[in-house]
Amino acid sequence: MQKLAILGLGAMGLPIARNLAAKRAASETLVAMDADPARLAGLEGPGLVATADPAALDGAEVLLLCLPNGDVVEAALFGGDRLAERLAPGAIVVDLSTIAHAKALAIGCALAATGRRFVDAPVSGAPAGAEAGTLTVMCGGDAETVAAVRPLLERIGTSVLHMGPVGSGQLTKTINNVLYDINIAALAEVLPMAVAMGLDPDQVAQVVTTGTSRSYASQYFVPRILQGRFDEGYPMGAAYKDLVAAAAIAAEHGFPMPVTAAATATYQTALRQGHGDRDKGAMVLPFEGLLGVKVRSGG
């Protein structure tokens, strides 16, 4: 009987756990753990243990993590509960979280010192993709270890890509997220200008969500901006770590990234104005204030 485990049952982790359980083989048991007992409701089922007790992870052969940031990942594995040492010898830790490239490298080395293996495997696709099991999974690790966990990852994603050695998954996720952030920052800057120049917000929205400038960012955020809804996506304050990670890589290697730096300034302005608990669409709010307009449906 193979023992699998997942730690972190938030907006992404909970649907991922459900998909892992729904496609569980008869020869597997799955432990779903979260420090918040409220997140465990409704998860119990055949071959599935929902728990807040770290001891339930003892002897797990594969541990998937879906946690907020690298510091939390590091604390979970090597802090007071010492989860890394609870796992079976030779066990594989698959980190689905989004953390810094440098942190992934450090965690991989620390796990190797305990005789465990590591795959950094951040995901893209938002909670809707996690629910549908259609995530894109970007894996960093040696080929043998990635191949060993690929069948598990194919339960939660339709694109499972081996990007290279440990750290490569997080590096790819940083690139993806920074491009996404740049797109949203551009929308935040340009849409208020369009309204200030007298264009109708609804018609502009139709163009930027169907024309050549359309993107996932515009199709997701623009309709929500029109309705003044800024609480449906990942909080800006938590997502800021992606731009910090990109800046660290650029500084270390001397990469000029002027467009990323400009987008970061837009992001920082929104954070300084107290919008960190709102989603990235709230980057539009400082520009609305500056130009004295609202990008809202109905003008």
Token reading at 78: 């090597």
Torsion over CA: 99, 104, 110, 111 (sign): positive
Specify which residues 6 forms β-bridges with: 32, 64
In the numeric block, the tokens 């972190």 are attached to: 8
Check if 173 is active-site: yes
Token reading at 223: 């309709």
Instruction: Find the catalytic residue in 3, 103, 173, 294.
Output: 173
Strands (E) in 201-298, as ranges, are none
Q: What are the angstrom distances between the C-alpha of 267 and each of 6, 32, 56, 79, 284?
A: 32, 35, 41, 32, 10
Provide the greatest CA pair distance for the chain: 66
Q: Report the DSSP pairing between strands 157-164 and 135-140.
A: parallel
Token reading at 228: 């003044």
Q: What are the angstrom distances between the C-alpha of 282 and each of 233, 290, 295?
A: 10, 14, 11
- CA 295, CA 209: separation in Å to the nearest integer? 15
- The backbone torsions φ and ψ at residue 126, rounded to the nearest 5 degrees and listed phi first, read 65, 175
| Size of the chain in residues | 299
- CA 102, CA 246: separation in Å to the nearest integer? 11
CA atoms within 13 A on the CB side of 183: 18
Which residue numbers are catalytic? 173
